[in-house]
């Protein structure tokens, strides 16, 4: 076994918060390791330490001399985003290009290697000539992966590489990763992905590392069994300690009553023994600190939602048509489709109709529906108010109850005054789930609810949805989540929504390839269709909100939409 990287007694803190302490990790040649942990536990920090981006507070890191280490970036560097996809990959192999982008790219890396690599990752020749910054988030993720691989690394560090990948693209990426003959350490919350690509699993939890030489699911079961054994041991130890202290207390009383030094000394010895046992008690995990306690209402209607003869349109361009969709009480329905197929556009049309913001003759909700909505852009949680104000007002809830739910969702009391606009995506996602738990909906529409959830959060959400009895319409890129919660599957394919008996048909479908540039005005050039679609959607949102009476408008959302539009327009202007 050839050791590539070894961490000994590693410790690191951020401010006053300790992320991990005295951890050990060895990565050998060819190891395929999945790193799992709840949000904020320090996974990305650990990757940064292993990759040499920063130094640990304590402990030592040993890298094999001459190790070729590839690090998959989380974001494309701004200068690189102005290059074509092929040039961005070449630039990774020639640092001169990144330092002097304006001089053009002449990397010296064989063009055929770059084309072969990008093609294997699902790019067409036309897409290789697109500007990297104009491609979708999933395509940019694959470019960053290619930038790491083109340097011929022996070990690659990947931080949530499946973010923004639709299910078809994820399959391509998964297959490519499995075909590599190098080692990698990958951070992911996607359980099916981890089961497919990792032979070893490392859990970062409680400031400690737990390593199992097993794929994720088997490792998780082994961890759960170890946790259960630890609880049993701790309970046995606590009973013994309590018994010793009870004996010590009794002997101390007798020693005092009978003025017997021997009994008193015996009591002190027993107390010292109890203290030693207490200090050496088996450690029991505190868990993630997240408790998704959702509550749902009941419904007696025969139908929750009916959609008939509907065309889903954006910017006067039809995305797909719906002949008929019927959802009954208690049914859990998954909506499948490639990125850009119109899933979110359809969902927003349903929600806006329910709220009376737009009207569609094709859409009918039962009058008994109490709708709970989670949007992947987290616009629902963009508000110029404190966290506690947002939750209590949006849910029309008692403030004390809202505080208790926030604490259960991992928000300590000290954070309840924090501005919602200053919160991270993961925090805003948890805040939305708290609102859902307080409003007691009987129909949930969830657009990518797993994007900001760690593994524990996903598993808790699965249990809540399965036990709720509420109707559900959900989109997600997490196969394990969809397979667990959904009873029916709708697929958007070739401009039509149709029901399929098995999601495997969609998972195994070939990835859509775009061999022609997106059509548009001459000055736009080869811009991703997703950019134009998003601009149209945001412009429509702004127009609708500004058309309302001032007291019903949402200035915070308008401001955030305007910022997003300015960024998108800058991408068009730069082309």
- The three state secondary structure string of 254-319 is HHHHCCCHHHHHHHHHHHHHHHHHHHCCCCCCCCCCCCCCCCCCCCCCCCCEEEEEEEEEECCEEE
Structural domain includes residue 448: yes
Side-chain-side CA neighbours of residue 184 (13 Å): 29
Q: Of 27-41, 99-113, 471-485, where does mean pLDDT reach its minimum? A: 99-113
Structural domain includes residue 118: yes
Q: Do both 267 and 182 map to the same domain?
A: no
Closest to 30 measured CA to CA, from 146, 184, 216: 184
Q: Of 151-160, 309-318, 329-338, 481-490, where does mean pLDDT reach its minimum? A: 309-318
Pairing, β 317-327 against β 305-314: antiparallel
Structural domain includes residue 292: no
Q: Are 231 and 223 in contact (CB under 8 A)?
A: no
Closest to 45 measured CA to CA, from 9, 18, 70: 18
User: Residue 307: what are its φ and ψ, rounded to 5°?
Assistant: -125, 130
User: Residue 555: what are its φ and ψ, rounded to 5°?
Assistant: -55, -40
- pLDDT of 362 higher than 50: yes
3-state DSSP assignment of residue 108:
coil
What is the domain count for the chain? 4
Q: Do both 108 and 14 map to the same domain?
A: yes
For the chain, counts of helices (H) and of strands (E): 20, 18
pLDDT of residue 512: 53
- pLDDT of 246 higher than 80: yes
Last residue within a domain, chosen from 186, 205, 220: 220
Q: Of 41-55, 137-151, 536-550, where does mean pLDDT reach its minimum? A: 536-550
Q: Do both 156 and 198 map to the same domain?
A: yes
- The three state secondary structure string of 127-158 is HHCCEHHHCCHHHHHHHHHHHHHCCCCCEEEE
pLDDT of residue 561: 66
Residues 288-306: tens digit of each pLDDT: 656 666 666 777 788 999 9
Q: Are 235 and 66 in contact (CB under 8 A)?
A: no
pLDDT of residue 380: 65
pLDDT of residue 104: 45
Distance CA 292, CA 281 (A): 30
Exposed / middle / buried, residue 227 (Cβ in 10 Å: 0-12, 13-18, 19+): middle
Written as six digits, the tokens of 240 are 């013994």
Structural domain includes residue 293: no
Q: What is the mean pLDDT of residues 216-220?
A: 94
pLDDT of residue 60: 92
Q: Do both 500 and 524 map to the same domain?
A: no
Q: Are 134 and 82 in contact (CB under 8 A)?
A: no
Structural domain includes residue 476: yes
Residues 71-111: tens digit of each pLDDT: 887 678 888 889 999 999 998 866 534 444 444 444 455 78
Structural domain includes residue 300: no
- pLDDT of 574 higher than 60: no
Distance CA 194, CA 37 (A): 13
pLDDT of residue 508: 66
Q: Do both 535 and 509 map to the same domain?
A: no
Q: What is the mean pLDDT of residues 429-433?
A: 84
Give the domain CATH number at 49. 3.40.50.300
Q: Do both 504 and 551 map to the same domain?
A: no
Confidence bin at 515 (pLDDT 50/70/90): very low
DSSP bridge pairs for 333? 473, 488
Q: Which long-range contacts (CB under 8 A, 24 or more apart) does 395-404 make?
A: 395/434, 395/435, 395/438, 395/439, 396/439, 397/438, 401/438, 402/434, 402/438
Structural domain includes residue 289: no
Q: Which positions ≥6 away from 197 have C-beta within 8 Å?
A: 32, 34, 174, 177, 178, 186
Q: Do both 186 and 266 map to the same domain?
A: no
User: Average per-residue pLDDT in the chain?
Assistant: 83
Pairing, β 371-374 against β 317-327: unpaired
Confidence bin at 226 (pLDDT 50/70/90): very high
Closest to 1 measured CA to CA, from 23, 36, 29: 29
Closest to 378 measured CA to CA, from 567, 568, 561: 561
Q: Do both 142 and 267 map to the same domain?
A: no
Q: pLDDT higher for 301 or 474? A: 474
Any idea what DSSP says for residue 419?
B
Confidence bin at 518 (pLDDT 50/70/90): very low
Residue-range definition of the domain harbouring residue 436: 305-517
In the chain, % of residues over pLDDT 90? 40
Q: Do both 475 and 570 map to the same domain?
A: no
Q: Do both 150 and 234 map to the same domain?
A: no
Q: Do both 418 and 557 map to the same domain?
A: no
Q: What is the mean pLDDT of residues 496-502?
A: 90
pLDDT of residue 381: 62
Quickly count: other Cβ atoms within 10 Å of residue 55's Cβ: 10
Q: What is the mean pLDDT of residues 36-65?
A: 90
- CA of 390: how far to CAs of 408, 421, 556, in Å? 16, 11, 13
pLDDT of residue 295: 62
Q: What is the mean pLDDT of residues 205-221?
A: 93
Q: Do both 504 and 472 map to the same domain?
A: yes
Side-chain-side CA neighbours of residue 297 (13 Å): 17
Rg (CA), the chain: 27
pLDDT of residue 40: 79
Q: What is the mean pLDDT of residues 378-397?
A: 79
pLDDT of residue 321: 94
Q: What is the mean pLDDT of residues 453-460?
A: 86
Distance CA 338, CA 424 (A): 26
Q: pLDDT higher for 379 or 401? A: 401
pLDDT of residue 328: 94
Q: pLDDT higher for 222 or 359? A: 222
Q: Which positions ≥6 away from 75 have C-beta within 8 Å?
A: none
Q: What is the mean pLDDT of residues 186-204?
A: 94
Structural domain includes residue 294: no
Q: Of 81-95, 206-220, 250-264, where does mean pLDDT reach its minimum? A: 81-95
pLDDT of residue 510: 55
* pTM, rounded to two decimals: 0.74
- pLDDT of 258 higher than 50: yes
Distance CA 469, CA 492 (A): 26
- The three state secondary structure string of 37-52 is CCCCCCHHHHHHHHCC
pLDDT of residue 531: 58
């Amino acid at each position: 076994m050839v050791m590539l990287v070894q961490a000994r007694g590693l410790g690191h803190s951020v401010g006053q918060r300790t992320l991990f302490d005295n951890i050990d990790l060895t990565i050998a040649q060819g190891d395929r390791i999945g790193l799992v942990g709840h949000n904020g536990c320090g996974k990305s920090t650990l990757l940064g330490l292993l990759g040499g981006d920063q130094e640990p507070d304590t402990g030592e890191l040993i890298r094999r001399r001459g190790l070729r280490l590839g690090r998959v970036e989380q974001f494309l560097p701004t200068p690189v985003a102005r290059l074509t996809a092929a040039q961005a990959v070449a630039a990774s192999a020639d640092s001169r290009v990144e330092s002097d982008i304006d001089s053009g790219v002449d990397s010296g890396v064989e063009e055929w290697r770059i084309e072969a690599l990008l093609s294997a990752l699902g790019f067409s020749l036309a897409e290789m000539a697109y500007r990297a910054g104009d491609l979708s988030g999933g395509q940019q993720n694959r470019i960053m992966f290619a930038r790491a691989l083109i340097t011929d690394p022996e070990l690659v560090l990947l931080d949530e590489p499946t973010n923004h990948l639709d299910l078809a693209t994820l399959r391509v990426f998964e297959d490519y990763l499995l075909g590599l003959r190098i080692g990698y350490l990958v951070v992911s919350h996607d359980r099916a992905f981890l089961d497919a690509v990792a032979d070893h699993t490392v859990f970062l939890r409680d400031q400690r590392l737990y390593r199992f030489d097993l794929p994720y699911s088997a490792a998780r079961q082994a961890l759960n069994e170890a946790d259960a054994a630890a609880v049993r041991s701790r309970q046995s130890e606590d009973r013994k300690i309590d018994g010793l202290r009870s004996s010590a207390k009794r002997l101390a009383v007798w020693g005092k009553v009978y003025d017997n030094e021997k009994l008193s000394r015996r009591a002190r010895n027993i107390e010292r023994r109890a203290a030693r046992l207490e200090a050496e008690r088996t450690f029991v995990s505190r868990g993630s600190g997240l408790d998704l306690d959702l509550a749902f209402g009941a419904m007696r209607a025969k139908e929750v939602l009916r959609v008939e003869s509907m065309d889903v349109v954006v910017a006067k361009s039809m995305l797909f048509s719906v002949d008929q969709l019927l959802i009954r009480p208690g049914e859990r329905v998954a909506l499948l489709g490639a990125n850009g197929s119109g899933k979110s556009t359809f969902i927003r049309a349903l929600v806006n109709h329910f709220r009376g913001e737009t009207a569609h003759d094709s859409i009918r909700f039962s009058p008994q529906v109490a709708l709970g909505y989670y949007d992947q852009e987290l616009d629902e949680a963009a508000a110029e108010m404190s966290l506690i104000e947002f939750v209590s007002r949006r849910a029309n809830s008692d403030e004390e109850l809202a505080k208790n739910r926030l604490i259960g969702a991992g928000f300590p009391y000290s954070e309840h005054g924090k501005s919602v606009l200053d919160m991270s995506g993961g925090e805003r996602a948890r805040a939305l789930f708290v609102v859902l738990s307080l409003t007691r909906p009987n129909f949930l529409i969830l657009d990518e609810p797993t994007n900001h959830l760690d593994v524990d959060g996903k598993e808790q959400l699965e249990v809540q949805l399965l036990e709720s009895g509420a109707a559900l319409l959900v989109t997600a890129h997490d196969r394990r989540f969809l397979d667990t919660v959904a009873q029916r599957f709708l697929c958007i394919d070739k401009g039509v929504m149709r029901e399929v008996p098995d999601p495997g048909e969609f998972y195994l479908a070939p990835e859509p390839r775009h061999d022609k540039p997106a059509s548009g005005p001459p000055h736009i050039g080869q811009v991703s269709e997703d950019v134009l679609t998003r601009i149209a959607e945001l412009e429509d949102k702004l127009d609708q909100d500004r058309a309302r009476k001032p007291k019903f408008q949402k200035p915070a959302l308008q401001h955030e939409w305007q910022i997003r539009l300015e960024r998108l327009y800058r991408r068009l202007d730069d082309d």
